[in-house]
A and B are shown apart, each in its own frame.
Chain A
Amino acid sequence: MQKIKDILAAFETAYVEDYKKIWIKAKLIQSSDLLAVAQALKTEGLRSLSTVSPTDFIDEDVMEMNYFFEDLITKRNLWLKCEIPRERERCKIDSLTPLFASANWHEREAFSMFGVIFENHPDLREIIVSEDFIGKAPFRKDFDWLKHEEDSLKNMQLIVDAFKEEQATNEVNLDPDSSETVLNWGPTHPASGPIRLKVHCDGEEVISVDPDIGYVWRALEHLVTQKDFVGAIVAVERLCFMDNINSMTGYCMAVEEIADVEITEFAKWMRVLLGEVARVSSHFMGLGGFFNNMGLHTLGMWNMDTREFFLDFLESYSGARIATAAIEPGGVRYGLDMSMLDELQKAIEKFDSDIGEVEAIFVKNPTMKLRAKKVGVITADEVLEFGLSGIVARGSGVKTDIRIDEPYAAYAQVDMEYITRDAGASQDRFVMLFEDLKQSVKIIKQAKKHIEDEVASGAFNPTKDHMVKVPKKLPKGEAISRVEWARGEVLMHLVTEDKAKSPYRLKMRAPSFNHTMMLDHLLKGKTLSDIPLIFGSLYICQGDLDR
């Protein structure tokens, strides 16, 4: 960490301070210094850029840029800020894409949502919001949503015409003598979900892939600013509804840090228990989805059978099976009735009895190995360069798991370890998913036993200890929190104004964003049959891709 401070000492900074155990927070005064700082950091070893997030301070007439640099190997992280003017023409800053490949789409998103212009970016187009979005930069504080709706309804025909024109020019730009064509592996496709991949292919061979996202855009980051701190959990949980608990945990941790509130031990263990149950539920679907893309639906169906038992537990605890809204700032929302843990026990027993067959039939399936052993190979260097996380990173041999690196809730007391695979092919990611699932069930067993023991000895009171009071109005401040979500690393950056009743800005960094960025790189030269396979193995969820 000292080396990072040395690097920053060479530039003009407003402050450099330690933030939590493995972060340094710093603010640059000159925004033109950014490129030089980034170069020095990259040489030092911080090779991943997690995300780029602007905050629009309209009262001070300034746009504050936040950069999050991470070193996944030695666990040193830097949160760098700098300010740029807010007017549309002067809102410019150097692009980091030539140095950090993972900055590509994040800068495009900052451009689309806030209108920040990045100089020297190789391909600065809009992303998520389409090019015909009327009235640019929707997340600025002076964007008029009602006027935008009126304009859209009036100009609907313009939007349709623009789309037809784009489709017509698809083929015009291609060489008429070759057999290259553009295929829309598109939103109305049985295996894709709501995402469109523009595939340039020559017969069956893929030449390049250009993902087009934004079909599930709900502007969650804006919705959160319209609700109060407790009501915002229904927006945060819809990042991806299958693993909704861990994203709510991240948001609540940030709120609790700003309000300076410490939650009880019981609430921490409950967050661990619920988070792992949600992770198990999401992994079951991911395992089934991988095989579905190869035409075999049996695994998906068998997993649904076991998953229902875990969802029964979530339903008994919170009242809903999937969108539970069970974590609130201050702890967990409901008290625990010990008879609910019996349902969890039934689920664990069903899991233990079925998992042997699943492993023998599907994880060790010879035809799957034929298909998936050599495609979609990601090396450890690419993981660091593109900022991948979660299962995808661990499948290529990089030891990174936020539950161990930066423990939150009660993970510091949980007995777990890094599980990695070395080869980085699609098959390894599938096996990694399976191993992660088994580890999650082990953690569930530990958490359940701990809670039962403590309740029996009287240290926890399950009906009263679940929530601490958090004030309705928070002071001015900002906080970041990272959680290990089912699909990767979710980083939440929360900014509040003084005596605020709702968040001023919440940035949710989605792991699927970085994973989809890699598709072009992975699919060059492969065949059409490999598209659903690689797409499925990267464990992408369109919900958090678009937010």
Chain B
Amino acid sequence: MILFDIINRTVRVAKALFVKSPAQIDVRYESMHAPERYRGEHRVDYETCIGCDACNKICPTHAITMKELPFKKQNIVPEVNLSVCIFCGLCEDVCPTKPEKSIVLSGGRYDMLSGGWHEDQSDFWVNVDIPQSYIDSRLEEEEATRVKKELAAKKKAAEKEAAQKAKAAEEAGEAPQESKILDGTPDFNAPIIEEEGETK
């Protein structure tokens, strides 16, 4: 009879009273399941980032903005807006840096926005804070390379000029002069060229 069926079902449901509840952990403070591939808050490594802009191009929701740095090369790093990001992980997949990627979501924090009041949009950005010492050291490096390049360019130009002059002298039939010393020391055996038009 239906009444007994209903009572039977009720008793079976009541058996759940004696089962230990799976909800034992307070997830405000620790997570119940934290695998290593969990896509959490982004971590950007500005030192290894090569500024290729691939993460910006593949982001499906345009959550990544590139921050400009005052260098000549490798001068952009990504910053992420967490309120737009959908945590798909494509930016991490496409980053070409080896052996560690420069933008990483795996294993990130899961409690990104908990606690406190959020009255400002800046709470929702993952910013890249670059210390001034790093900027200075990079600028110095660039300066050093620039100076080196200039010197090398000058050297090459001077070599080219000398080679041209030697060629011109050869064509004019004069005896090939001794190879001059080109490190800047004056040639003490060169003839003294008198200036024309001065002593009349």
Contacts and interface: CB of A to CB of B under 8 A. Distances in A.
B87 A320 contact: yes
A235 B37 contact: no
A329 B86 CA distance: 20
A524 interface: no
B96 interface: no
Contacts of B35: 315-316, 319
A325 B88 contact: yes
Given A305-B22, A320-B39, A325-B88, A315 B9 contact: no
Contacts of A334: 37
B5 A366 contact: yes
A323 B60 CA distance: 14
A227 B94 CA distance: 15
B85 to A, nearest CB: 11
Contact of A231 (B6, B39, B90): B90
B51 interface: no
Contacts of B105: 319
Contacts of B90: 230-231, 234, 325
Main SS class of interface, B: mixed
Interface residues of A, number: 28
A357 interface: yes
A457 interface: no
A333 B105 CA distance: 15
Interface string A343-369: 000000000000001001100011100
Contacts of B38: 315, 319-320
Nearest to A360: B12
Contact of B58 (A228, A357, A360): A228
Interface in B157-193: none
Contacts of A319: 35, 37-39, 89, 105-106
A317 interface: yes
A357 B93 contact: no
Interface in B78-134: 86-90, 93, 105-106
A312 interface: yes
Given A231-B58, A323-B86, A365-B9, 14 more contacts: A227-B60, A230-B58, A230-B90, A234-B88, A235-B60, A315-B38, A316-B35, A316-B37, A319-B105, A320-B38, A325-B88, A325-B89, A366-B2, A370-B2
29 contacts: A230-B58, A231-B58, A231-B60, A234-B60, A234-B88, A234-B90, A305-B22, A308-B22, A315-B33, A315-B37, A316-B33, A318-B37, A319-B37, A319-B38, A319-B39, A320-B38, A320-B39, A320-B87, A323-B88, A325-B88, A333-B93, A357-B15, A360-B9, A360-B12, A365-B9, A366-B2, A366-B6, A366-B9, A367-B6
